[in-house]
Chains A and B, each alone.
Chain A
């Protein structure tokens, strides 16, 4: 080989190596087009054992294997999905947040023509609500100048996934031992005021702060507790009015909810450093006994158990109502947490559709998934519910069986709370209330002023 040829060969080898290094690496995920293997992505590490258990049942039934890949955390998964969608390299099945108009619709199969009522009738009453596109969403996107082309192209009644699991926020977890040491009965408080006095008693006895939650995330309080307090206090329509800009936060009907946070801050019942604490950090702090109560959802229990707590160490109860609320007890109105969708370009489209239908409607698969993932399935389990893990079953039993007040407000929540940016300002103002830099009245005033300013500027 002469020198020139050697040079060319070296250059070509280097180029080839470089190009191969730059390529996706995984090749075509759908290449297993024989129909014997499906590929699936999720971001929920805790769900993987559940998916694997259900996939095993599916393989026994059909001979089709399902290969599950997990990419975490949430942001990474979103970016992974976007990159793969742009390069047409998505897996056959995608686990996604149960939502409509999240811009994945251009990449996954629209199912209203594929899935009929015989399947849809198997889910719990409200399971399809966040997935199926509503008239109010279509109207909202049509008038929203910032809505994407994908959102503007969606039609009423379309849906792009099937509901996998349900759950609810609005759940407080209490440390039974700390409560009993403070001379309290480890029972759910009947009102917000009683809840506050329980926190005060624990703090007085042991010095342990009352409450921890992921306050680093500005809108977490509103999403997980504040909206429940509002809906109970003024009824669902009162909250809808606020979302639709027909009411003010400083109205007597709404101000007490802001004051609830002011009380926690004023009495120094929140864990020090709560504003730099995220969701995991809050759960860790609670599990380590650094706070008497933790705010979470039905999904928090699995995290606490994984952190070494025992079910008998914990009491759980829904957000208690403020005294004088229109609704005197919060029924945890479950909503769909995640969905399963099919890649619209999948070579295994039929098999993928069959798999997501099996995963979300077959009672045995649903129980296997639920017990492995520690989440409540979206399908009506009927008699199979007895096979659920006992803790999971007790969570499931606390869920309302009929659509409740949250369901009534949720269409407005889904379409307006993200769009109307006074809520973003309010979430940050509440952080200032926690810091005692703003009073409840000032925070509410900030919400109202921003709302007026945005309305005036056509936003």
Chain B
């Protein structure tokens, strides 16, 4: 029981977490915002030079045509990843969630479906890289089933026409379990009496899905879509490991562009500015998604 004597004790317990949040979370975010207005090479902030909005002008308004081109190209790639993910993962996860709910071998399927979530990303992406090699499993499979026209001689990641597709495939594979969990939880939380009542009234299976399941799953879909858009705009690991953004910048995303700008070109100010604009873009898309769904919910 909380008394006036010990009412501050709970706050004391919260103190480490609050300090950690302030020290790591707020400080680093604030520092990063500050950095985006400076030219700084990463060592000793006293050498940083205030540049106002120059970093933003560099890549948004074409002050530096190459950085501008790289930024918009990377942004487009992120957007494509997001679109493909939403369009493919949402229906796929929904179907798989139904399967999970209605199969006797749910435990086995759950393990298989959730594998991408528990496996180490770095190790898995090296496996994917191997699968996409010229002599990798994908080309071998196409040859084996007689679809030779689908074989990519330089490997999926070695061609600028297909490298982004390879990245999208791995992103879809990695994004499926999270959405699946959401839908599975959503499906199991729907009150079965709603279905019973509708069935008594003569509703068909399709009507049950259309009138009960889908409306009740809409808030979950909203969360899933926002999560996927957010994830797509934070894509980094798979691109960094599998293509490094190439060939010819064909799979460059904001994450690798920021990494290259900060850690290879030592331009932390520009990298921060790019990162924050990308964050704002993600935020705008998320708000747009929320509004369009809210009108429906």
Nearest chain A CB to B69's CB is how many angstroms away?
Answer: 9
CA distance A7 to B160 in the complex (A): 61
* Residues of B contacting A118 in the complex (Cβ-Cβ under 8 angstroms): none
Whether A62 sits at the interface, judged by CB under 8 Å, is: no
Docked pose: A103 CA to B39 CA in angstroms: 12
Interface residues on B, range: 35 or more
Does the CB pair B9–A7 fall under 8 Å? yes
Which residues of A have CB within 8 Å of B15? Answer: 11, 15
Question: Which of A14, A215, A273, A425 has most B Cβ within 10 Å?
Answer: A273
B64 pairs with A459, CB closer than 8 A: yes
B201 close to A (CB within 8 Å): no
A window 430-455: CB within 8 A of B: 431-432, 434-435, 437, 450, 453-454
Name the residue in B65, B242, B248 with the highest tally of chain A Cβ atoms < 10 Å from its Cβ: B248
Say whether, besides A148-B47, A454-B65, A459-B64, A75 and B263 are in contact (CB < 8 Å): yes
> What CA separation (Å) do A18 and B48 show in the bound complex?
31
Contact A276 B47 (CB under 8 A): no
- Comparing B90-98, B149-157, B213-221, the segment that makes contact with chain A is B149-157
Residue A104 CB within 8 A of the other chain: yes
1/0 contact string of B103-147 vs chain A (CB within 8 Å): 000000000000000000000000001001111000000000000
If over half of A's interface residues share one DSSP class (helix, strand or loop), that class is named, otherwise mixed; here it is helix
Contact A149 B160 (CB under 8 A): no
Neighbouring A residues of B242 by C-beta, 8 Å: 276
Residues facing B in A76-133 (CB within 8 A) are 78-79, 81-82, 85-86, 102-104, 106-107
Question: Would you give the shortest CB distance from A43 to chain B, in whole angstroms?
Answer: 13
Bound Cα distance A188, B209 (Å): 73
Q: Please state if B65 and A453 are interface contacts (CB–CB under 8 Å).
A: yes
Q: How far is the CB of B9 from chain A (nearest CB, A)?
A: 5
* Contact among B23, B63, B160 with A432 in the assembled complex (CB-CB below 8 Å): B160
CA–CA, A218 and B263, complex, Å:
17
Q: Tell me the count of chain A residues lying within 8 A, CB to CB, of chain B.
A: 53
- Are A107 and B12 in contact, with the CB atoms below 8 A? no
**Is A394 in the interface zone, CB < 8 Å from B?**
no
Q: Is B158 a contact partner of A274 (Cβ separation < 8 A)? A: yes
Contact between chains at B65 and A435 (CB < 8 Å): no
Tell me, yes or no, whether B243 is within 8 Å of chain A by CB.
yes
Alpha-carbon distance A435/B153, docked complex (angstroms): 10
26 A-B pairs within 8 Å (CB atoms) are namely A14-B16, A15-B15, A15-B19, A18-B19, A22-B20, A81-B43, A85-B43, A103-B41, A107-B43, A146-B267, A148-B41, A216-B244, A272-B153, A273-B133, A273-B157, A273-B158, A274-B154, A275-B158, A428-B246, A428-B249, A432-B247, A435-B154, A435-B159, A435-B247, A454-B65, A459-B65
**Besides A276-B158, A457-B63, 15 other A-B contacts (C-beta < 8 A):** A11-B12, A15-B19, A18-B19, A82-B43, A85-B43, A86-B45, A103-B43, A106-B44, A148-B49, A149-B48, A216-B244, A272-B158, A273-B133, A432-B247, A454-B65
| 9 pairs of A and B residues whose beta carbons are closest in the complex | A103-B41, A272-B134, A275-B247, A273-B134, A148-B41, A276-B158, A421-B66, A276-B157, A275-B158
